[in-house]
Structure 1
Amino acid sequence: MTQPFEDFDLSDFWDDSEFARKEYLDEPLTDSLLSSVQTQLGYKLPSAYVALMRQQNGGMPIRREHRVASPTSWANDHIAITGIFGIGCTKGSLASSMGNQFWIDDWDYPPIGIYFCDCPSAGHDMLCLDYRECGPEGKPRVVHVDEAFDYRITMVAQNFETFVKGLTSEFSSAEHEK
């Protein structure tokens, strides 16, 4: 069995800016913290997500765009992200007061899995690990949920590792305007 990201260089994945560290970086991930957060969320996190968070527990990727097959409120052919939430209970981490449950309870996002990644729209679209087809112990897809389009769900990637490998910086920031 292969290890997540064994054929992918993550050495230049994270933006090391002060803002990224302040807003997204959580304490180093421990087995105890992982177990506690997964219990609180009610889902098993993908091994690739855990592997990435063991490298750095939350942050802003350098490449923050991903191609999609159908239009979203951001662009006709791609989405943009801001940061990936760490596995923890502080800052904007998955189990914090501004984490997964916040998006479901306060923003009415559908309870289909784990909201793990925010977008530049300040809450009007999010990325989610979608467990509807695989169940809480399975391997979720990555989907974009668009509040601006009545919470329309758009497929982004078959799994988290494929999502990370598909992040790019090929689109200009002005291109998102329709």
Structure 2
Amino acid sequence: MTSPFEESPSPWIGPPLTEDMVRRAEETLGVRLPRSYVDLMYRQNGGVLKNSCHPTSFRTSWAADHFQIDIIVGIGYEHGLDAESAYLISEWEYPEVGVVLGVTPAAGHDTVMLDYSESGPDGEPAVVYVDEDRIPRRIAGSFGEFMNGLVSCEAYEDED
């Protein structure tokens, strides 16, 4: 299986993940993280995505039919989701539906989140896109489905 992350060094890559780091993150966040997310973080603990565009069935402030997410944050370090999510939700007034998952080029004006509003804290969260209007819009039923939906942004280069 090829990595979805760029190979270059990045401050977004955390230290190798341990079970203790996962346990502490889940305690801090008050949710069970999706197994597919945790498994990916064991391979590489966060980083810059190779394919960073995700299609949508709705208009975003980014484009008519997609958005870009540059980074999936990892666990247990300065930029990890357990260290940053609550702060980002408060700072940017994101809906309190779950956990901030990544960083978009707008760096706060929009985001992608794990949404536990239907599944509860121990269930499998959906993935939502949160635009400037702060309304969570479902883009995938699971983290794995979200990752499988990422495409190269070259697919959208001809658009205005």
Give the TM-score range, shorter chain: over 0.9
Deviation at 1:104, TM superposition (A): 1.4
Distance in 2 (CA, whole Å) between partners of 1:174 and 1:140 is 33
Q: Out of 46, 53, 67, which is 1:58 matched to? A: 46
- The amino acid of 1:111's aligned partner reads E
Q: Out of 160, 169, 174, which is 2:143 matched to? A: 160
Deviations 1:126-157 (A, max 9, x none): 000000001000000000011x2x21222111
- Runs of 5+ unmatched residues, structure 1: 1-8
Distance in 1 (CA, whole Å) between partners of 2:13 and 2:73 is 8
Q: Which residue of 2 aligns with 1:48?
A: 36
Matches within 5 A, 1:1-178: 9=1, 11-18=2-9, 21-22=10-11, 24-90=12-78, 92-96=79-83, 99-146=84-131, 148=132, 150-169=133-152, 170-173=154-157, 175=159, 177=160
Secondary structure at the residue paired with 1:49? Answer: helix
Distance in 2 (CA, whole Å) between partners of 1:144 and 1:109 is 11
Deviation at 1:17, TM superposition (A): 2.2
Give me the identity figure in percent.
Answer: 38
Cα RMSD, aligned residues only: 1.3
TM-score by length of 2: 0.94
TM-score by length of 1: 0.85
Distance in 2 (CA, whole Å) between partners of 1:160 and 1:61 is 14
Query: Does the 8 Å contact 1:88/1:95 carry over to 2?
Result: yes
Distance in 1 (CA, whole Å) between partners of 2:93 and 2:25 is 21
Deviation at 1:50, TM superposition (A): 0.3
- The amino acid of 1:115's aligned partner reads V
Distance in 1 (CA, whole Å) between partners of 2:156 and 2:81 is 29
Aligned length: 159
- The amino acid of 2:129's aligned partner reads H
Runs of 4+ in 1 over 6 A off after TM superposition: none
